[in-house]
Structure 1
Amino acid sequence: MAKKFHFRLQTVLNIREKQVTEAKNELYEVLRLKFQKEAEITELIKEKNLQFEAKRKTTLKAMEMQSVKDHINMLNYKITKAKNELLKIEEIEKIKRNNLNEALQKEKILLNLKEKKIEEYKKELNIEETNFLNEISSQMYQRNKNNQ
């Protein structure tokens, strides 16, 4: 009976697969934060534009005008702050993408090695099978020769 295929580095491959999964999850989390921050920026810009339009269309007293102007300035500050946070998130995203690519490359190396080992195993199996069949046929030939 032929021996079962066993890849010596299977535990390492399992670790690499786990690292790829973790890297993907980390990247997805950063992307979720990025989309959340982009949505926050969009909402702040909408609110600022609404305040600006309201300020333009209505006639306000000086104190109300100053209050609206202060609110718009505060929104501008929040937008700037959110954009800076978005830049930091994008930097983290780059790092996480690089980590994922690196983990994928390491996994691919082991997968390729495993494929090569499987091919070698199949070749050895074919050779053993051929030798076994040759042995059987030669024994049968000897029996037939001896019986005649």
Structure 2
Amino acid sequence: MTEIELIKLALEAREMAYTPYSRHKVGAALLTTDGKVFKGCNIENAGYTPTNCAERTAIFKAVSEGYKTFESIAVVGGMDKLKALPFCAPCGVCRQVLREFVAPDTFKVYLAEVDDVTDLNNLTEDKVRIKTMTLSELLPLGFGPENLEI
């Protein structure tokens, strides 16, 4: 799967976001090592603390269906009525949840700046700028499962 295809799936997931309070919609598309994609969107709650991010929604969906090895994730986000989206990176909690399941030095995180989200069917590479990072770059010196081994 190409980066742009994964970003398009993240944009589709963003459309499902439930954000009545912040109006900041985020979509994520998580690619497993065997090519399956799990999409997630952020889901807000009036109590704020129970709110769940798009990245964690995708991860939890995948893990709940038995998938625990991942290759990459695309993340897109921005305010509800924006025609163009800026780069949107995972929050610290999502970075930590990813750290539980991925090889931080090789897992790719694709952040996308998108010129026009009004017509996803005509999303082309010239309308998207992609920033590719590893999880290690986003979460340096991250705490992971190996830190709890005896």
Asked whether the two chains share a fold, i.e. TM above 0.5, the reply is no
Larger Rg: 1
TM-score by length of 2: 0.19
- Which structure has greater helix proportion? 1
- Which structure has greater strand proportion? 2
Larger relative contact order (C-alpha < 8 A, sep ≥ 6)? 1
